[in-house]
């Protein structure tokens, strides 16, 4: 990868120290987004047309249309400076501190990622609930919760998982800004510093690594189809 023009050391040494931080933040955000999507997406679909449905859709529409840097600043003002629940910025020293310090930036990214996924999952669940096999399951006397979890959710998740993989590229881009807002020592912060200092070898290296991460995640998403939908095979 060459040598850094700004830091006067091998680019690989600079990037290798930052990659685990950014990957950890991305995985953290994806895990939170998955939890938000399953909880609020299913709840919104089940409560279709009611107050809870409208509240969830309106709330996540606000999140979706809010720039991630401003959403991060709002969370800092409310949860860090106002309620003192989380640290304002930094990364910590131990594993527990890493998880604690990364919660707000991961929460910021996870909220915005789930805002897109919830709308899709809600629509897919509502559509699947009208399917003939769901009507047959109800006629057999199966409990509504069992029908929702076993027959509806797995089929409805296929398109949501696809969007999840496509949105990962935007998640990687979002970490660039969020890491700067929360002073997280990851690839995003290094990328901003390198662009400002015109350190082109570092910029190129981070771009290549980010592209590889997006490709790997999309591959994992493609392989997950066979688990969600038994009709999909890769023979």
pTM of the model: 0.82
What pLDDT is attached to residue 229? 64
What pLDDT is attached to residue 232? 61
Q: Which residues of 11-20 are buried (b: 16+ CB within 10 A; e: fewer)?
A: beebbeebbe
Question: What is the residue-wise DSSP string for 60-104?
Answer: HHHHHTS-HHHHHHHHIIIIIIIS--S-SS---SSHHHHHHHTHH
Does an H or E element contain 215, and which? helix 200-228
Please give the DSSP secondary-structure letter assigned to residue 3: B
For 121-143, write each residue's pLDDT tens digit: 888 888 888 888 878 888 887 77
- The CATH H-level (homologous superfamily) assignment of domain 19-186 is MetI-like (1.10.3720.10)
What pLDDT is attached to residue 100? 87
How far apart are the C-alpha atoms of 87 and 100, rounded to whole Å?
8
Query: For residue 226, is pLDDT > 80?
Result: no
For 154-170, write each residue's pLDDT tens digit: 778 877 887 887 777 77
How far apart are the C-alpha atoms of 212 and 185, rounded to whole Å?
20
For 61-82, write each residue's pLDDT tens digit: 888 888 888 888 888 888 888 8
How far apart are the C-alpha atoms of 216 and 169, rounded to whole Å?
11
What pLDDT is attached to residue 185? 85
Domain ranges of the chain: 19-186
């Amino acid at each position: 990868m060459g040598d850094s023009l700004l830091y006067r050391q091998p680019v690989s040494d600079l990037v290798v120290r930052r990659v685990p931080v950014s990957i950890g933040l991305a995985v953290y955000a994806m895990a939170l987004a998955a939890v938000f999507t399953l909880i609020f997406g299913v709840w919104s679909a089940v409560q279709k047309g009611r107050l809870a449905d409208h509240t969830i859709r309106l709330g996540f529409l606000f999140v979706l249309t809010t720039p991630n840097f401003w959403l991060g600043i709002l969370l800092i003002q409310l949860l860090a400076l106002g309620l003192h629940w989380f640290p304002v910025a930094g990364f910590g020293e131990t594993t527990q501190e890493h998880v604690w310090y990364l919660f707000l930036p991961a929460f910021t990214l996870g909220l915005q990622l789930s805002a897109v996924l919830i709308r899709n999952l809600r629509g897919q669940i509502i559509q699947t609930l009208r399917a003939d096999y769901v009507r047959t399951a109800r006629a057999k006397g199966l409990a509504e919760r069992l029908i929702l979890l076993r027959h509806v959710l797995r089929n409805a998740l296929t398109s949501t998982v696809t969007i999840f993989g496509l949105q990962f590229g935007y998640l990687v881009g979002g970490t660039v800004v969020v890491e700067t807002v929360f002073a997280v020592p990851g690839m995003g912060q290094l990328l901003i510093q390198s662009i400002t200092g015109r350190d082109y070898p570092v910029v190129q290296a981070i771009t290549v690594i980010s592209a590889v991460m997006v490709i790997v995640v999309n591959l994992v998403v493609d392989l997950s189809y066979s688990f969600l939908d038994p009709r999909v095979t890769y023979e």
